Structure 1
Amino acid sequence: MKELKELNIKSIEEIKSLFAEIFTKEPWNDDWSDLAQLHEYIMDLIGNRNSKESAMEYKIRQMYPNEYPYLKKFLYEAIFQKDTETLLPKEIIDEPDLNIYIENFGKEHDHCLCAEANGRIIGAVWTRIISGYGNIDDVTPEFAISLYKKYRGKGIGTKMMQEMLSLLKSKGYKKASLSVQKENYAFKMYQNLGFKIIGETEEEFIMMYDLTKTVI
């Protein structure tokens, strides 16, 4: 029997090379020219198996009303910032077009799940029916998701999305939507989950999930 080998930097680079070679050809024709995006996406798929943190236990649960203030931090973390050297000020979330995602959270049609590890909330996914960046109509909940950087690339974000999609389906919603920056590696995760592009702006894709079908 062959021994299972831990993934190291060299093997991860080989996986990235093979992945790009395959999925940039027919029938996929994906654009993986952004190597940083490719790296983050691969790490999200396989996780960092050599890290003790990647083996940590976590659970996805409902976020309690007294924990909703945490959404202020997670909203800021959810902002895609390509330039990590010059980050946006924290006060940016007070802008009306962002604050709408968390203001007075807890109303009808507001739903929130969180990821907890070692008694600490490390990520959150929430939905609201609002006129946000990913709004498509007045009955479809729009997603927002955020995970602290050190916990990314371990599949936690995917699990949170799956749990929320199942929750929305159980509540009787027919669709769910979101917006994502075209350069954000999370775009590929949304595609793998089953979200489809239904519109776009110069910088973002508007995506929709059909909840009438089986949730992955």
Structure 2
Amino acid sequence: MLAKPELAHYVIDWPRAGDLGVIAEDESPVGAAWLRFLPESDPGYGFVDSATPELTIGVLQGWRGQGVGARLLETLIDSAREKQVEAVILSVEPDNYALGLYERFGFEQVGTVGGAITMLLQL
């Protein structure tokens, strides 16, 4: 991940001011979700502006479909609200199983970039 600039900016120098993250564990990590504010000079896949953090989430294959992603997302969104974050953005491929999860949490499609769907959640 660090060798690819288009991905590295999601984790380099973790944590920076404003970063939020959660980890799901069952003896060892099984998933993680985090928010990162990216500058206009180094935008992410779902970038809309530097005041809107981008969500990244991942759950190990064997743990998918068991509610881990939903719990991570719920906890992270609650933390963002506590920190008075106004909105969260993400980018997802249209065939990604998580698309339905994002829609259940209230993310709305606001555009597409290179075939990926950009989704926004107003907090």
TM-score grouping bracket, smaller chain normalisation = over 0.9
1:160 counterpart SS class: helix
1:162 counterpart SS class: helix
> What residue in structure 1 maps to residue 20 of structure 2?
111
Paired AA for residue 113 in structure 1:
V
Q: Which runs of 5+ in 1 are unaligned?
A: 1-91, 212-216
Q: How many residues align?
A: 119
1:65-214 to 2 correspondences below 5 Å: 93-117=2-26, 119-130=27-38, 131-211=43-123
TM-score normalised according to structure 2 size = 0.92
Whole-angstrom distance in 1 between the partners of 2:22 and 2:122: 20
Which structure dedicates a bigger proportion of its chain to strand?
Answer: 2
1:94 counterpart SS class: coil
TM-score normalised according to structure 1 size = 0.53
Deviations 1:145-165 (A, max 9, x none): 011111111011011101100
Whole-angstrom distance in 1 between the partners of 2:101 and 2:117: 13
Bigger Rg, which one: 1
Paired AA for residue 6 in structure 2:
D
Identity within the alignment, %? 29
How far is the alpha carbon of 1:202 from its aligned partner? 3.8
How far is the alpha carbon of 1:93 from its aligned partner? 4.8
Q: Which runs of 5+ in 2 are unaligned?
A: none
- CA RMSD in angstroms comes to 1.1
> What residue in structure 2 maps to residue 19 of structure 1?
none
Which structure dedicates a bigger proportion of its chain to helix?
Answer: 1
Whole-angstrom distance in 2 between the partners of 1:104 and 1:170: 23
> What residue in structure 2 maps to residue 44 of structure 1?
none
Whole-angstrom distance in 2 between the partners of 1:155 and 1:208: 21
